[in-house]
Amino acid sequence: MKTSEIMARLSAKYGDQKEFLQAVEEVLVSIEDVYNQHPEFEAAKIVERIVEPDRIVTFRVTWVDDEGQIQVNTGYRVQFNNAIGPYKGGLRFHPSVNLSILKFLGFEQTFKNSLTTLPMGGGKGGSDFNPKGKSDAEIMRFCQAFMLELWRNIGPDMDVPAGDIGVGGREIGFLEGMYKKLTREHNGVLTGKGLQYGGSLIRPEATGFGALYFVENLLKEHGKDIKGKKVALSGFGNVAWGAATKATQLGAKVVAISGPDGAIYNPEGMTQEKLDYMLELRASNNDVVAPFAEKFPDATFLPGKKAWSVKCDIALPCAFQNEMSAADAEELLANGTWLCAEVSNMGCQPGAIEAFQKARILFAPGKAVNAGGVATSGLEMSQNAMHISWKAEEVDQRLHGIMDSIHKACVQYGTQPDGYINYVKGANVAGFMKVAEAMLAQGVI
Ligand code: 2IT
């Protein structure tokens, strides 16, 4: 297998799918030499097969807004690969959603889910619907219309969607309600459900908590400790909140957070009141962090700035794909940052990763760092299948164990001859091997 040849073929076919091509190239570059030591992979055309989703479902979503106007959106479900378990992955509701983004996310999800140690395949879906400024009733009608089409394609042993950007507990509730109405089955077909109807404790916190458990492992591996370290993070959604909460609990100081309108310089770190306010801001649906500085006088609003302009030890992008550019990375490096852990999916542009790796600082990719979210979804599936619910401590302990094993797998497959751990390579190779071997075992399908 030659990455350049596969990429040339994919570019000719999907030239406009920039994010998808970016995600594929990152994985292929990492796995190329290991792959070529396995002639059985080459003979079975594993790479050619793994870069094509099993199938893509596209549908029209028609709904009526509060003014009585008919609105039309596009819905998708990309069922990428089910070699190791049912398709599993979130739904994203955001105006930027298109096939390139959902294919990149579904592709990443396949390897991420493989890393979790749980039997889950990869999928992703969503819509170009923009939840910003919509009333609860509009959100409900949209979710119902979306499920009216999606329901035939999902099932607890077939495909289990969850949340992603723009889809949280409220949306999962409306989606579950319509699924139940249509099928008359309450079977755990979605994860991220409310606790009253089959949800798992710790699921809302899991992505951010898991990321910090991964960071703890990474620091320990390098003889370091998180206590007293300065953390900068982006985003003020559920994931950023979970990361800020756990970082603070572990003794780090979250000195910067950023949203679309600018950054907050927060030299005193977080308090419970500030963490709660992060959630409040998010619920307001206004997409701004500026009010944070008005409410807390020890914090300063830096209009139009990113969190990366604040001096920190650890950078945690928690917002969106490609949110960190090479220039951002250079700014962090110049300020002495020595660890960057991607919490968002593909949060760093290739130039940023290159800059971090060239500077030999610690860098870990999203598919390893943020896998705690989907792993806890997997634990929600297990609880639903057994018709039981575990205590928070039990879920947290399992999440901890899973993040430990993901870190271990990265070290096993990513340690370079000079001792530097290439976590990108480690995560990609470890995630790939399991899926490839499962595909091989299952024949030509
Ligand atoms: O990117 C992700 O891993 C998620 N949005 C969570 C997916 C899930 O099925 O919980």
Closest to 26 measured CA to CA, from 387, 425, 436: 425
For residue range 59-72, what is the model confidence (pLDDT) as tens digits?
999 999 999 999 99
Does any ligand 1 atom lie closer than 6 A to the CB of residue 345?
yes
For residue range 107-133, what is the model confidence (pLDDT) as tens digits?
999 999 999 999 999 999 999 999 999
For residue range 68-95, what is the model confidence (pLDDT) as tens digits?
999 999 999 999 999 999 999 999 999 9
| Fold for the domain defined by 3-185 | Rossmann fold (3.40.50)
Quick check: do 3-185 and 206-364 share a fold?
yes
Tell me which of 79, 109, 112, 318 to substitute to probe ligand 1's pocket, judged by most ligand atoms within 8 Å of the beta carbon.
Answer: 109
Mean pLDDT of 251-263: 95
Mean pLDDT of 132-141: 96
287 pLDDT exceeds 90? no
Q: What is the 3-class SS of 296-312, one letter each residue?
A: CCCCEEEECCCHHHCCC
Nearest CA to ligand 1 atom 4: 90
For residue range 29-55, what is the model confidence (pLDDT) as tens digits?
999 999 999 999 999 999 999 999 999
Does any ligand 1 atom lie closer than 6 A to the CB of residue 110?
no
- For residue 440, what pLDDT is reported? 98
CA of 299 to the centre of ligand 1 (A): 32
285 pLDDT exceeds 70? no
| The overall pTM is greater than 0.95 | yes
- Residue ranges per structural domain of the chain: 3-185, 206-364
Would residue 124 show up in a list of annotated catalytic residues for this protein?
A: yes
Tell me which of 374, 376, 379, 406 to substitute to probe ligand 1's pocket, judged by most ligand atoms within 8 Å of the beta carbon.
Answer: 374
236 pLDDT band, cuts 50/70/90, is confident
The residue to which tokens 């593909």 are assigned: 346
Does any ligand 1 atom lie closer than 6 A to the CB of residue 88?
yes
CA of 109 to the centre of ligand 1 (A): 8
CA of 63: how far to CAs of 97, 125, 130, 132, 317, in Å?
18, 18, 13, 16, 34
The residue to which tokens 């040849």 are assigned: 5
Nearest CA to ligand 1 atom 3: 374
CB-CB contact of 106 with 123 (8 Å):
yes
CA of 228 to the centre of ligand 1 (A): 30
CA-to-CA distance for 154 and 147, rounded, in angstroms? 10
CA-to-CA distance for 20 and 34, rounded, in angstroms? 22
Closest to 112 measured CA to CA, from 402, 352, 340, 355: 402
Does any ligand 1 atom lie closer than 6 A to the CB of residue 154?
no
Tell me which of 19, 207, 318, 380 to substitute to probe ligand 1's pocket, judged by most ligand atoms within 8 Å of the beta carbon.
Answer: 207
Does any ligand 1 atom lie closer than 6 A to the CB of residue 162?
yes
User: Residue 109 CA: which ligand 1 atom is closest?
Assistant: 3
Does any ligand 1 atom lie closer than 6 A to the CB of residue 376?
no
Nearest CA to ligand 1 atom 9: 89
Report the residue count for the chain: 445
Does any ligand 1 atom lie closer than 6 A to the CB of residue 193?
no
Does any ligand 1 atom lie closer than 6 A to the CB of residue 217?
no
Please state which CATH number belongs to domain 206-364.
3.40.50.720
CA dihedral angle for residue 98, residue 78, residue 110, residue 397, rounded to 10 degrees: 90
Indicate the average pLDDT of the chain.
97
User: Residue 160 CA: which ligand 1 atom is closest?
Assistant: 9
284 pLDDT band, cuts 50/70/90, is confident
Tell me which of 118, 158, 164 to substitute to probe ligand 1's pocket, judged by most ligand atoms within 8 Å of the beta carbon.
Answer: 164
283 pLDDT exceeds 90? no
Mean pLDDT of 249-263: 96
Residue from 112, 124, 246, 253 carrying the catalytic annotation: 124
Closest to 308 measured CA to CA, from 344, 347, 267, 256: 256
Does any ligand 1 atom lie closer than 6 A to the CB of residue 264?
no
